[in-house]
């Protein structure tokens, strides 16, 4: 491997929360917990919500925030080199995996599967 990977961390964000802000925050914390280990392997971690949430604050979301979330992830995946799919039911994360597979980029399900960058 000659360059670090940009790895999208995909997993439940709103799924299973019933819209409860505390549950959503816990899901985001779970996604973010994977960021430091990915960084320690020499790569750049990315979470779609890190990009989508500021967009949602800046636009009229009358069309629904899920549209912004999914579209942001779709666009972001055009720049990612791999996906780490965390456990848990999530249609958005499943879509991220499908896009990654269409692009032919790796989909990891465990941190231990991610190769280290030695650069």
CA distances from 42 to 45, 83, 90 (A): 10, 15, 27
pTM of the model: 0.91
Q: Note the maximum CA span of the chain.
A: 46
Those residues of the chain that have pLDDT short of 50 are: none
For the chain, which domains are there? 6-110 (3.40.50)
pLDDT at 62: 56
Look at residue 55 in the predicted model and tell me its pLDDT: 87
């Amino acid at each position: 491997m000659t360059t670090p990977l940009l790895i999208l961390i995909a997993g439940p964000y709103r799924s299973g929360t019933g819209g409860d802000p505390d549950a959503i925050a816990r899901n985001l914390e779970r996604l973010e917990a994977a960021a430091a280990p990915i960084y320690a392997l020499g790569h750049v971690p990315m979470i779609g919500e890190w990009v989508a949430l500021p967009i949602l604050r800046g636009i009229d979301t009358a069309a629904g925030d899920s549209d912004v979330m999914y579209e942001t992830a779709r666009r972001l995946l055009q720049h990612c080199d791999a996906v780490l799919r965390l456990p848990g039911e999530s249609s958005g994360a499943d879509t991220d995996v499908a896009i990654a597979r269409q692009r032919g980029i790796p989909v990891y399900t465990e941190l231990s599967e991610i190769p280290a960058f030695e650069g």
